[in-house]
Chains A and B, each alone.
Chain A
């Protein structure tokens, strides 16, 4: 994987953070300078350390589907609410990739975050980050790589966010992103299920018992 191309004293932090695209994280990297992580071959986000103020979460699934087809689904952000259950809608704002995410917050509130595309390589990677003024500073990146043989595509989702200052912001971030690792894992598994089976798996017996229906009801 290409994210390990830079090695050296900063490698430990760079592996995890470098994936997030050209984002100003200088302060964070400087903090990590004192105790560099030895460079093994594991993805940076599996490190037994935090990334300072940022929470970084990464997960990989293998999906038996064509890499470009998976990329195309993800590149159309308006598809993502199908698999991201806390996202109500993602509406493109302009042709340059800006989009507004409406995300469920507790007590029926909806938080809005505007993102822009930070990096894009057709069939390989899409990275996005929130623009100035969003309630929550967040960055995400999804990578697509061919799996061995006919196993399909390895899809890695990495998200990071920095809870903003102020009690309200911190509270919101905490509530929304309470279990970011869990959220990312579930979102990816739903993506995998939808791409492989054409359905989002549910064990509900009736329509009004599905997760989607319950989400609607709590709004």
Chain B
């Protein structure tokens, strides 16, 4: 089959690799119809996540048709399914309390040591990411072997197009959980750093959850415009003093909750961020956490900090004093996708959530490498790339973004 493979920093290529096979009884093979490039794929592209090996097939947002099933799979051939990026067994302690992304069985025993050393406990398995998370072949491919197919994949009714439901695989539940972790109440002002796909879905989710005001922070005009169209107030951090603006826009109280949808490669002007850039480049595992640092200083006393943004290593000059002295609550984590797929599918069906407004491009899987380059270098215009294994090489298809410039 054809698949997008990681070869090194800023080097991804579509190559021919072996077709996946049913290995365990609960496996299924999915023929991919749509797969997206995620912002966290850019962390792999930039080479700042450890444990990615040359030849690894990337991609963790995908859906498709069931073409083969193991004897214990509950899926049937021909069904359309969206597959959560988190691989979860459904039977361990964590899965039974819906902490699916903490599954203790989905990362193979022999692959658990590295993350256990780094983090104190092993990470669960994730599709198409790092060998820290199992080294599973990902979804930017024609076919994928999906383990525990009786637990993860959600069957999609025929009347819903791929574009409407694809993001159930990751970024929609990730944005939703990011908002949920902010414990939003009706009178709250919520600030969201980062208007990439996760940030945009967090904004939409926070508004659905009833926030009085959501303030979106970014520096790309087009992304900010998408946030404004959802109903958020916007702040451009290159033009505005963010902390001062947030204090004023929250009546001098400070924002009630902050959501960091930026993660480990935050842009920032502070000197410590420059040092962290260097450390990250030389493999020090330094996370550039300038968005999170600003969020912690911006949130009100007794406020909530939600971190859906991805971090992998350590950071220093962290405002620990502010965290303690202001009495903040922090919640974070990879998304417990399986917990959210069903309720969010209902919200897509009844029109509560719009999932297509951010798609800027459809590309053939064959042109996936171009998709990475553009999603990385032209973030203003390239807000979300959906790859289609079926599309002919070189063909393009505009997206469904609601921005006036790109509609």
| Partner-B contacts on A (CB < 8 A) | 62, 64, 151-152, 182, 185-187, 189-190, 192-193, 196-207, 210-211
**Interface assignment of B173: CB less than 8 Å from any CB of chain A:** no
- B20 closest partner in A (C-beta): A205
Q: Does B112 contact A (CB under 8 A)?
A: yes
- List B contacts of A187 (CB < 8 A): 109
Of B21, B90, B104, B108, the residue contacting A192 (CB under 8 A) is B104
A201-B106, A206-B21 known; 12 other A-B pairs, CB under 8 Å?
A64-B92, A64-B96, A189-B105, A196-B105, A199-B24, A201-B105, A201-B108, A201-B125, A203-B107, A203-B134, A206-B20, A206-B23
Which one of A151, A197, A200, A202 has the greatest number of beta carbons of chain B within 10 Å? Answer: A197
Give A191's nearest chain B residue, CB to CB: B109
Q: When chains A and B are docked, how far (Å) is the Cα of A152 from the Cα of B96?
A: 12
Which of A182, A200, A201, A207 has the most C-beta atoms of chain B within 10 angstroms of its own C-beta? A201
Residues of B within 8 A of A201 (CB): 24, 89, 105-109, 125, 134, 147
A27 CB to closest chain B CB, in angstroms? 34
Q: Which residue of A lies closest to B27 (CB)?
A: A199
Q: Which of B93, B135, B145 is the most central at the interface, judged by chain A CB atoms within 10 Å of its CB?
A: B93
Neighbouring A residues of B106 by C-beta, 8 Å:
201
Q: Is A197's CB under 8 angstroms from B110's CB?
A: no
Beta-carbon contact of B135 and A203 below 8 Å: yes
Known: A193-B89, A205-B137. A199 touches B25 (CB 8 A): yes
Give min CB distance, A176 to chain B, whole Å. 17
A-B contacts, CB under 8 A, total: 82
Range class of the B interface residue count: 35 or more
Residues of B within 8 A of A64 (CB): 91-93, 96
Cα distance, A190 to B19, chains bound together (Å)? 26
9 inter-chain pairs at a CB distance below 8 angstroms, sorted by A residue, are: A62-B93, A152-B93, A187-B109, A196-B92, A200-B24, A201-B106, A201-B107, A203-B125, A206-B21
Let me know if B136 and A203 touch, CB within 8 A.
Answer: yes
A1 to B384 CA separation, bound complex (whole angstroms): 55
The reply to whether A198 and B20 form a contact with Cβ atoms under 8 Å apart is no
User: B148 to chain A: which residues have CB within 8 Å?
Assistant: 197
- Determine the chain B residues whose CB is within 8 A of the CB of A152 once the complex forms: 93
The reply to whether B112 and A189 form a contact with Cβ atoms under 8 Å apart is yes
Identity of the chain B residue whose Cβ is nearest the Cβ of A204 in the assembled complex = B23
Residues from chain A with a CB closer than 8 A to the CB of B90 are 197
Q: How far is the CA of A62 from the CA of B96 in the complex (A)?
A: 14
Contacts of B104 in A (CB 8 A): 192
Find residues 93-151 in chain B having any chain A CB closer than 8 Å to their own CB: 93, 96, 104-113, 125, 134-137, 145, 147-148
Which B residue sits closest to A186, measured CB to CB? B109
Check if B300 is an interface residue, CB within 8 A of chain A. no
